[in-house]
Amino acid sequence: MADPEDLKPGDEVPSRPPPRHKLHSGLGLLLRWESLLVVMLGATIAYGASVSPYFLQSTNLFYICLNVGEVAIMALPLTLIVITGEIDLSVASMLGLCGVAMAELFKHGWPIWPAMIAAVLLGAVLGAFNGFLVTRVGLPSLAVTIGTLTLYRGIAQGILPTDTIGGFPEHLTNIGVVPIPGTHVPYSIAFFGALAVVFAVVLHATPLGRAIFAIGASQEAAFFAGIRVKRIKFWLYVLCGMLSGFAGVLWTLRFASARYDAAIGQELYVVTIVLLGGISIFGGRGTIAGVILAVAVLGCLQTALTADLVPAQDQQIVVGALLLASVIVPNAGDLYRRTRDRLRSAEARRHRAGPVQAESP
Amino acid sequence: MTTIAEEKAVREPHTSSHHVAEILLRFRELGIVLALVLVVVGAAIVNTNFVSLTNVQQILSGAAIIALLAIGETIVIITRNVDLSVGSVLGISAYATGVLYVHHPHVSLPVVFLVACGVGLACGIVNGAVVTIARVPSLVVTLGTLYIIRGIDGAWAGGNQVNASMLPTSFNRIGYGTVAGIPYLAIIAGVAVAIATYAMRSFRTARDFYAIGSDPPAARLAGIPVGSRVFLAFVLSGGIAGIAGAVWLSLYGSVDAIAGVGYEFQVITAVVVGGVAIFGGSGTVLGAALGALLLNTINSALDVVNISSFWTSAIAGALLIAAIAFDRLIAVRVAPALRTRRSSRG
Amino acid sequence: MSNELAPPLLSLEHAEKSFGAVHALEDGIVDLYAGEVHGLVGENGAGKSTLVKILAGVHRPDAGRLSIEGVEAIFDNAKQSQAAGIAIIFQEPTLFPDLTVAENIFVGMQPLKRFRRIDGRRMRREARAVFDQLGVKLDPDRVARGLSIADQQLVEIAKALTTNARVIVMDEPTAALTMTEVDRLFGIVAALRARGNAVLFVSHRLEEIFAICQRVTVMRDGRHILTRATEELTVQSVIRAMVGRDMDALFPKVEAERGEVVLKVDRLTREGAFTDVSFEVRRGEIVALAGLVGAGRSEVARAIFGIDRWDAGSVEVGGRRLKPGSPTRAMGAGVGLVPEDRRQQGLVMDFSIERNVALASLDTVRRAGVIPRGAERRFARDWALRLQLKYSRLTNPVWTLSGGNQQKVVLAKWLARKPSVLIVDEPTRGIDVGTKAEVHRLLSELAAQGVAVLMISSELPEVLGMADRILVLFEGRVTREFARADATEDAIMQAATGIVDQAA
């Protein structure tokens, strides 16, 4: 692959992992990451059904959905950010801060709807701050969002240190506990579903989506094709903040109270969903379908574990392990290939050394 | 040959701006000390109790834990990686230490620290192995192990707690004892930082860390075993966090499943504020330790000036962002001089 | 020639190296004796870099024989080459910016004292001693970040000396140096020669070769052409050996009717890259920017397209002024750029062929904001057909294609936008002869259709065969302009190497 004149000695052939979906045969389709997720989902449901006879009942499905709703919503914009090769670890903190802001405004006499809208707008501002630091100041997104993870949560804690704020109108807090009338679908997951469709269309079928993939696959080539790399990244951060703020509103309504530590540590779940969904941590690869499946897997798994009386800490181990597995497994093929190449090269060397030595006097 | 003069005009290196930047980088430690003095003087003016012996001792002891963790984190960040799991490692090691005393009340101090260190090493080995063998970015790996280790800790501890009463006095004394008014912990951390600072200067392996973080492909080209060095960095970070766990228990006297939650952010903030480049390659353990001290002093000063300690983490986050933005601005200052030369090549 | 009794320090015989279908080196021959400075010259793509990388242990030759002091050697990696006493000074040294100069010299082999501690004092002393030996002043304690290229090269040379390297290869060392720095480097090269080292000096600049080399090897098209003592050669004879190749029928030049000025570049300047560049390109015209690598040709192209900002001057396309630093605006005005680095800049290598073709034209492919299923494929298939792209499936990643077909994809991407100005930077680099001819025909046809083509090429026959006018850049300035009829390879080469005074 390497053009002779372009490689400097310091350069390595780019160490991007090989594409996951290289094969295009029927076998390739079977080996797609999404297929793996479907199998995992089946296994998780089977496990859930085996520990609880009620697992597949509609009320239980309602609770499965309810548990992952907000996290799933945040996973969508994060998916786009990860595809461009960046990261946002501050999602859960934005959720927390926006929830607190909404409650504070409500407590200070704002009507509930303006307070909710303000919370979503605040999320956009928080996201814009992340985006500004990453795209305009040029700081690494990892360091920036570790910083804002602490900063945003810290501000929430500063505003609302110990107490909780409640007393929201009941017809609104109800959406966190009752399904949409006539169905068994909670509101949050319905929002997720609608958003997921929009995201899927945008990502997979519009010029913007194509640009997002191009940025992640090769930022330089994308720029040379006239794609506005910085602008797109900035607005993705804004979007991520906005939807995190929206998730904050939903979260606050679901628990009918706001606390500074709402969803603390949930960035683990959001990042896990994104990476389990087959989005490459190196950017440029993944599908919304994968993310939707990952939401389903994680939701079912959590509920099944709870039904199996596995305590919360142990569930954290499982989710953490899932996160590691979802980055190690796609790299395993690469690891295998590297080892094989090394062995081959050693063999070739022996092979080559033979006849040449015979030649020398 | 008119070209000579013009060529010079175009290609004259801008050394002056470079020197300013270099001074700022080289005297980062001095800047932190200056900031420290400002905070202390300011807080002392508001409330003289700030410089009371007990308060100073408290600040030093608290900073000692973060400074210890910062040693390991510095090594990892210098290699252009990050270890988010240090808080969890500290937690599980602290709990392991407590449990050890519960089951073997008469176990000797060295054994206790060996066990604590061993727990940390085990965690570090897992981190290092996954990062270097599976070639997964350390961010994701240690985010995973942050929760996995915390989860194991939680599952192990359940709702249990180890109290000071279950620990021998000789152990507790490490936490509260002083020599000439200086807490043992501060001395321990001081000695550790001094050793680490010296070692990071004086051994090939340590210089390899810097080379790797400075330019990974060049390090490979220079024959540095990059994989095993990065592995070692994570193992060291784990081991140090393990020891810090035992020290933490001696300071706070009781441990449950949430010991050290969120420490990773404080530690990373301290390290970055202390002048360790988030992109690796430069920084000192001494700077990171001073960063830890500054962070703790600011937190304590907030109390004195009646700002709720609940703002602590907001300030840590703001400091972290300010520090990387500051480093970036310096780099941008140096860049034009470099660009002039670089862009003139094919 | 005079040292034939002792075996050469290094000798490479009939080395071959291919990358896929590209034969980068077909017959690489060079031998180096102790105490000689040996010049290696050739056009871009003549195989010099590949030869250097074989010596460096970066590439392993497919065939041929390398011996060090008469003993057969095989290098698997850079480390083995270093151990054999070969040191390479690249045009862009790879130093560790955060380490000090002394540390960079001794990285991985620092002198130790008791308890395996690094002996910093000895390290600095030895570094200083090496610099004294070279007759230069450089503070061993300063960090490498911000060192000039010349000083970075010095650090690499010092490193070579401390490892007792006998053979020192300098790959285009003067490309980024000022005149004074070049003089200093020449002094050092003379010192190395006096120490009994062998120096392989790779350069485009013939006056430098004639100033310091005792022998010269000329390469062309991956092959060794000649090796002679410098006294037996003249600048003219070397240039003839470098370019002397048949003007084949590769260039089906179609005479096109010139129209109005489409691209007008006026006094364009970017500090450190190019200065005061002015020219116009008309409809139907192919204008070539010739010059050596590093003369600023690609930089001009990048600035016009908006990749880099310019510091002064202006660019007008079709009478409209472009905004600096915005590829989107340049594209909107009808400019397309086929960049120099196909793999990094021209293509998203993981994307499929069809996606790469359509990447810059999605606004025309989409319907109601969405890219309809199949529309992209039809679009890509259409262009693939027009350019006679050879592929198995349009959904295959573009990296599965050969270099020539990859380049056709890049061309298709821009042609699909119906540009009024097309900038092509090294359009035929690293592609096979057949595809090369197709690309040339395509460019001619485009011009005939009224596109203004700005072509950058290091291949003189291509420049002569294709261009209506030729601008030669040297050190970031336009030094000569040739009409098609007046241009010869020798004249262009002279202008490109700075030998212009009598003509300008």
User: pLDDT digit string (tens) for A30-44?
Assistant: 568 888 899 999 999
- Cβ of C96 within 8 Å of Cβ of B201? The answer is no
Which amino acid is located at B13 in the chain? P
Give the rounded percent of residues in chain A with a pLDDT score beyond 70: 86
Question: Does position B247 have pLDDT exceeding 80, yes or no?
Answer: yes
Q: Which residues of A touch C339 (CB under 8 A)?
A: 224
Q: H-type helices in C99-164, by residue range? A: 101-106, 120-134, 149-162
**8 A C-beta contact, residue C100 and residue B26:** no
Question: What is the per-residue pLDDT for A7?
Answer: 33
Q: What is the rounded distance in angstroms from the CA atom of residue B208 to the CA atom of residue B230?
A: 10
**Highest-pLDDT range among A311-320, C89-98, C125-134, C351-360:** C351-360
Among A33, A65, A45, A35, smallest CA distance to A301 is for: A45
**Positive/negative CA dihedral, C303, C306, C311, C317:** positive
Q: How crowded is residue B319: how many other Cβ atoms within 10 Å of its Cβ? A: 21
Q: What is the rounded distance in angstroms from the CA atom of residue A104 to the CA atom of residue A252?
A: 12
Kindly list the distances between the CA atom of residue C333 and the CA atoms of A229, B309, C259, C326, C427, in Å, as whole numbers in the listed order. Answer: 19, 57, 18, 11, 22
How sure is the predictor about A329, in pLDDT bands with cuts at 50, 70 and 90? confident
How sure is the predictor about A351, in pLDDT bands with cuts at 50, 70 and 90? low
Question: What is the per-residue pLDDT for C234?
Answer: 87
User: pLDDT digit string (tens) for B271-326?
Assistant: 999 989 888 898 999 999 999 999 999 988 988 877 777 888 888 899 999 999 98
Region of C447 on the Ramachandran plot (φ > 0 left; ψ -120 to 50 alpha; else beta):
alpha
Question: Does position C491 have pLDDT exceeding 50, yes or no?
Answer: yes
Please spell the DSSP secondary structure of C311-369, one letter per residue. SEEEEEETTEEPPTT-HHHHHHTTEEEE-S-IIIII--TTSBHHHHHHGGGHHHH-BTT
Q: What is the rounded distance in angstroms from the CA atom of residue A323 to the CA atom of residue A309?
A: 22
Q: What is the rounded distance in angstroms from the CA atom of residue A135 to the CA atom of residue C325?
A: 16
Shortest CA gap C115–chain A (Å): 33
User: pLDDT digit string (tens) for A94-153?
Assistant: 999 999 999 999 999 999 999 999 999 999 999 999 999 999 999 999 999 999 999 999
Report ipTM (2 d.p.): 0.83
Average pLDDT of C459-478? 88
Q: What is the rounded distance in angstroms from the CA atom of residue B96 to the CA atom of residue B120?
A: 10
Answer whether B305 touches C (CB < 8 Å): no
**SS3 string of C232-244?**
HCCHHHHHHHHHC
Task: State chain B's mean pLDDT as an integer.
Answer: 86
Shortest CA gap C48–chain B (Å): 16
Percent helix, strand, coil in chain C, to 5, is: 35, 25, 40
Taking each continuous run of H as one helix and of E as one strand, the counts in chain C are 17, 20
**Which position has the higher pLDDT, C457 or A194?**
A194
Question: Does position C247 have pLDDT exceeding 50, yes or no?
Answer: no
Enumerate long-range contacts of B104-108, CB under 8 Å, 24 or more apart: B105/B166, B105/B168, B106/B168
> How many CB pairs (< 8 A) connect A and B?
159
Question: What is the per-residue pLDDT for A31?
Answer: 63
**Positive/negative CA dihedral, A213, A215, A221, A224:** positive
- Kindly report the pTM of this predicted structure: 0.86
Lowest-pLDDT range of A103-117, A196-210, B265-279, C32-46: C32-46
Which is it for strands C312-317 and C477-483: parallel, antiparallel or unpaired? unpaired
Question: What is the per-residue pLDDT for A16?
Answer: 41
Taking each continuous run of H as one helix and of E as one strand, the counts in chain B are 15, 2
Lowest-pLDDT range of A18-22, A87-91, A282-286, B3-7: B3-7
Question: Does position C3 have pLDDT exceeding 50, yes or no?
Answer: no
Question: What is the per-residue pLDDT for B5?
Answer: 37
Question: What is the per-residue pLDDT for B22?
Answer: 54
Give the rounded percent of residues in chain A with a pLDDT score beyond 90: 62
**8 A C-beta contact, residue C58 and residue C33:** no
**Which position has the higher pLDDT, B171 or C243?**
B171
Question: Does position A333 have pLDDT exceeding 90, yes or no?
Answer: no
How sure is the predictor about A2, in pLDDT bands with cuts at 50, 70 and 90? very low
Average pLDDT of B86-96? 96
Question: What is the per-residue pLDDT for B121?
Answer: 97
Question: What is the per-residue pLDDT for C148?
Answer: 81
> Which residues 214-243 of B are in CB contact (within 8 Å) with C?
214-215, 217-219, 221-224
**8 A C-beta contact, residue B95 and residue B162:** yes
How sure is the predictor about B340, in pLDDT bands with cuts at 50, 70 and 90? very low
Task: State chain C's mean pLDDT as an integer.
Answer: 87
Question: Which residues lie below 8 Å from residue A342, measured CB to CB, with a gap of 6+?
Answer: none
- Residue of A10, A154, A324 with shortest CB distance to B217: A10
Q: What is the rounded distance in angstroms from the CA atom of residue B311 to the CA atom of residue B303?
A: 10
Q: What is the rounded distance in angstroms from the CA atom of residue C421 to the CA atom of residue C412?
A: 14
- Residue of B207, B215, B344 with shortest CB distance to C118: B207
Q: What is the rounded distance in angstroms from the CA atom of residue C396 to the CA atom of residue B120?
A: 47
Question: What is the per-residue pLDDT for C80?
Answer: 85
Question: Does position A157 have pLDDT exceeding 90, yes or no?
Answer: yes
How sure is the predictor about C271, in pLDDT bands with cuts at 50, 70 and 90? confident
Taking each continuous run of H as one helix and of E as one strand, the counts in chain A are 14, 0
Question: Does position A162 have pLDDT exceeding 90, yes or no?
Answer: no
Q: What is the DSSP letter of C105?
A: H
Q: What is the rounded distance in angstroms from the CA atom of residue B189 to the CA atom of residue B176?
A: 14
Average pLDDT of C106-130? 90
User: pLDDT digit string (tens) for C153-196?
Assistant: 889 889 888 888 899 999 888 876 777 788 888 998 998 999 89
- Residue of A143, A161, A315 with shortest CB distance to B310: A161
> Which residues 132-151 of B are in CB contact (within 8 Å) with A?
133-137, 139-141, 143-148, 150-151
Question: Does position A302 have pLDDT exceeding 70, yes or no?
Answer: yes
Task: State chain A's mean pLDDT as an integer.
Answer: 85
Question: What is the per-residue pLDDT for A350?
Answer: 58
User: pLDDT digit string (tens) for A97-108?
Assistant: 999 999 999 999
How sure is the predictor about B26, in pLDDT bands with cuts at 50, 70 and 90? low
- Residue of C92, C120, C474 with shortest CB distance to B345: C92
Question: What is the per-residue pLDDT for B305?
Answer: 78
Q: What is the rounded distance in angstroms from the CA atom of residue C386 to the CA atom of residue C381?
A: 9
- Cβ of B223 within 8 Å of Cβ of C79? The answer is yes
Answer whether B155 touches C (CB < 8 Å): no
- Residue of B201, B203, B343 with shortest CB distance to C272: B343
Give, rounded to a whole angstrom, the gap between the first and last alpha carbons of chain A.
Answer: 36
Question: Does position A357 have pLDDT exceeding 50, yes or no?
Answer: no
Question: Does position B250 have pLDDT exceeding 50, yes or no?
Answer: yes
Lowest-pLDDT range of A331-340, B120-129, C154-163, C373-382: A331-340
Q: Which residues of C touch B346 (CB under 8 A)?
A: 91, 175, 293-294, 298
Lowest-pLDDT range of A132-146, B277-291, C12-26, C478-492: C12-26
**8 A C-beta contact, residue C174 and residue C208:** yes
Cα A298 to its chain centre, rounded Å, is 12
How sure is the predictor about A57, in pLDDT bands with cuts at 50, 70 and 90? confident
Half-sphere exposure of A275 (CA within 13 A, CB side): 32
Per DSSP, the three-state class of C60 is coil
Residues in chain A: 361
- Cβ of B148 within 8 Å of Cβ of A320? The answer is yes
Per DSSP, the three-state class of C285 is coil
Residue position matching structure tokens 């270093």:
C82
User: pLDDT digit string (tens) for C274-289?
Assistant: 999 999 999 999 999 9
